[in-house]
């Protein structure tokens, strides 16, 4: 089992400040395991809403919850959106002896319940797969190849890992989306759409192009994108644009959030096949983008591109500074005109060129070549 201390601390801080903490993340990312670790060593009660016995206990939710003390964990809460008003009443009790940790995968009912019923009473912790800091930098290549879902990353062999990811994709489309309350979406069409995203991974979203390929309308293509984004399996990275003389791109970029799922959708079976694949560079870019956002959890993250060709893979605002990240699949990166344009036009305080090599070194004043293994420490410094 991989320890996830940063997430544990985030939940503990949330429980100190709020009567309710909501732990959100994709299916199978380890939410239940983490909740049990947080609950260990304290008085706690655990409800799994996929368990018929636990569902029966909450048939009358006020009666089932109001007498509990300590930490109350409710897993898969999106199955019972009617619990949110009850939790609001319980959270507002002046003599409350219980705090609540609710776990769920994103769904319209879950988002609505948290934002409307529990506003001002809930701390939100977003959880993804295992990241590089948790896995260890010496396992960078395995994490990139297999992705961060625990059962994929910790599988005995690459073959077993790939089989798990293929099963995840199938069950996610055929069963999990319906359980999330997404509605009736034909799984073959959504599978085709998700595969299309894998081929456009790291590129600009074009609803018309996707709609033509699907043989559907642009609103349908946008709806499919919203579904996969809400379920934490696709990242829609918004563009940053400001008042400069250059015309700038104003459509978002799209990524498959987990690199292992990306590789399964692209039928990439081994690390050797990945290194020879046409999407290898884009895969590495998405991996770095996801690692940076997952580890630092910035309030906002963007990319930037001008119609002249200048671009920046990731723009973060950290501690009041503008930090740019450009990703290069090489072990000896240099500077480019695009980097200098981004640094000048965006008034960057720092520009990090994140690469796949092992060494970090300065390139020019304000521009650093940073190994992916050192990226989190470099950004936090």
Q: What are phi and psi of 270, to 5 degrees?
A: -135, 165
Pairing assessment for the beta strands 98-104 and 20-24 based on DSSP bridges: parallel
Whole-angstrom CA distances from 164 to 155, 159, 170 are 8, 9, 10
Q: What are phi and psi of 282, to 5 degrees?
A: -65, -35
Residues 132-380, CATH architecture:
Orthogonal Bundle (1.10)
Q: What are phi and psi of 74, to 5 degrees?
A: -120, 110
Q: What is the pLDDT of residue 107?
A: 60
Q: Kindly tell me if the per-residue pLDDT of 207 is higher than 90.
A: yes
Q: What is the pLDDT of residue 182?
A: 62
Q: What is the pLDDT of residue 111?
A: 65
Whole-angstrom CA distances from 75 to 230, 239, 295, 297, 357 are 18, 35, 24, 23, 41
How confident is the model over 325-381, as pLDDT tens digits? 999 999 889 999 999 999 999 999 999 999 999 999 999 888 999 999 999 888 876
User: Which among 41-50, 257-266, 372-381 has the top mean pLDDT?
Assistant: 257-266
Q: What share of the chain is helix, strand, coil (3-state, %, to 5)?
A: 45, 20, 35
With H, G, I as helix, E, B as strand and everything else as coil, classify residue 100. strand
The residue ranking higher by pLDDT, 226 or 252, is 252
- Cα separation, 292 vs 55, in Å, equals 38
How confident is the model over 229-250, as pLDDT tens digits? 988 999 999 999 887 767 888 9
How confident is the model over 179-202, as pLDDT tens digits? 666 656 678 888 999 999 999 999
Question: pTM of this prediction?
Answer: 0.92
Q: What is the pLDDT of residue 231?
A: 87
Which residues, at least 6 apart from 370, have a Cβ–Cβ distance to it below 8 Å?
A: 352, 353, 354, 355, 360, 378
Q: What is the pLDDT of residue 179?
A: 67
Calculate Rg over the CA atoms of the chain.
22
The residue ranking higher by pLDDT, 103 or 365, is 103
Domain ranges of the chain: 5-126, 132-380
Host H or E run for residue 121: none
Whole-angstrom CA distances from 116 to 88, 94, 122, 320, 324 are 10, 21, 11, 30, 35
pLDDT category at 11 given cuts 50, 70, 90 is very high
Q: Kindly tell me if the per-residue pLDDT of 69 is higher than 70.
A: yes
Q: What is the pLDDT of residue 183?
A: 54
Averaged pLDDT score across all residues of the chain: 91
| Dihedral over alpha carbons 31, 34, 39, 40 (to 10 degrees) | 150
How confident is the model over 113-126, as pLDDT tens digits? 677 778 888 898 99
Q: What is the pLDDT of residue 72?
A: 96
Displacement of CA 297 from its chain's centroid (Å): 10
Q: Report the topology of domain 5-126.
A: Rossmann fold (3.40.50)
- Cα separation, 268 vs 206, in Å, equals 25
Q: Do domains 5-126 and 132-380 have the same CATH topology?
A: no
Contact, 351 vs 335, CB < 8 A? no
pLDDT category at 112 given cuts 50, 70, 90 is low
């Amino acid at each position: 089992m991989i320890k996830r201390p940063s997430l544990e601390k985030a939940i503990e801080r949330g429980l100190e400040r709020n009567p309710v903490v909501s732990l959100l993340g994709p299916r199978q990312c380890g939410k239940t395991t983490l909740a049990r670790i947080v609950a260990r060593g304290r008085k706690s009660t655990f409800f799994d809403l996929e368990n018929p016995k636990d569902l029966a206990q909450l048939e009358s939710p006020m009666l089932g919850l109001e007498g509990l003390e300590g930490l109350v964990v409710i897993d898969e809460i999106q199955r019972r959106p009617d619990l949110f008003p009850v939790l609001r009443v319980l959270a507002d009790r002046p003599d409350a002896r219980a705090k609540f940790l609710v776990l769920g995968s994103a769904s319209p009912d879950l988002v609505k319940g948290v934002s409307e019923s529990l506003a001002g009473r809930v701390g939100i912790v977003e959880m993804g797969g295992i990241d590089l800091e948790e896995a260890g930098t010496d396992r960078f290549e395995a994490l990139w190849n297999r992705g961060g879902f625990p059962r994929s990353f910790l599988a005995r062999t690459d073959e077993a890992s790939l089989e798990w990811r293929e099963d995840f994709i199938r069950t996610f489309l055929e069963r999990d989306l319906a359980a999330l309350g997404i509605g009736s979406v034909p799984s073959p069409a959504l599978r085709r759409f998700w595969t299309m995203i894998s081929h456009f991974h790291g590129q600009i979203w074009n609803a018309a192009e996707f709609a033509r390929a699907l043989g559907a309308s642009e609103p349908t293509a946008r709806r499919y994108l919203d579904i996969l984004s809400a379920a934490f399996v696709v990242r829609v990275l918004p563009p940053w644009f400001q008042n400069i003389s250059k015309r700038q791109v104003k459509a978002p970029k799209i990524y498959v959030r987990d690199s292992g799922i990306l590789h399964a959708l692209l039928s990439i079976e081994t690390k050797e096949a990945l290194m020879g694949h046409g999407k290898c560079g884009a895969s590495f870019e998405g991996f770095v983008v996801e690692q940076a956002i997952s580890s630092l959890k910035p309030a906002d993250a963007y990319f930037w591109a001008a119609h002249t060709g200048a671009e920046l893979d990731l723009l973060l605002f950290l501690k009041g500074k503008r930090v740019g990240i450009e990703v290069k699949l090489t072990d000896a990166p240099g500077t480019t005109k695009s980097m200098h344009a981004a640094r000048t036009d965006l008034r960057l305080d720092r520009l990090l060129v994140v690469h796949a090599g092992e060494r970090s070194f300065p390139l020019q004043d304000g521009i650093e070549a940073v190994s992916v293994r050192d990226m989190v420490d470099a950004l936090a410094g």
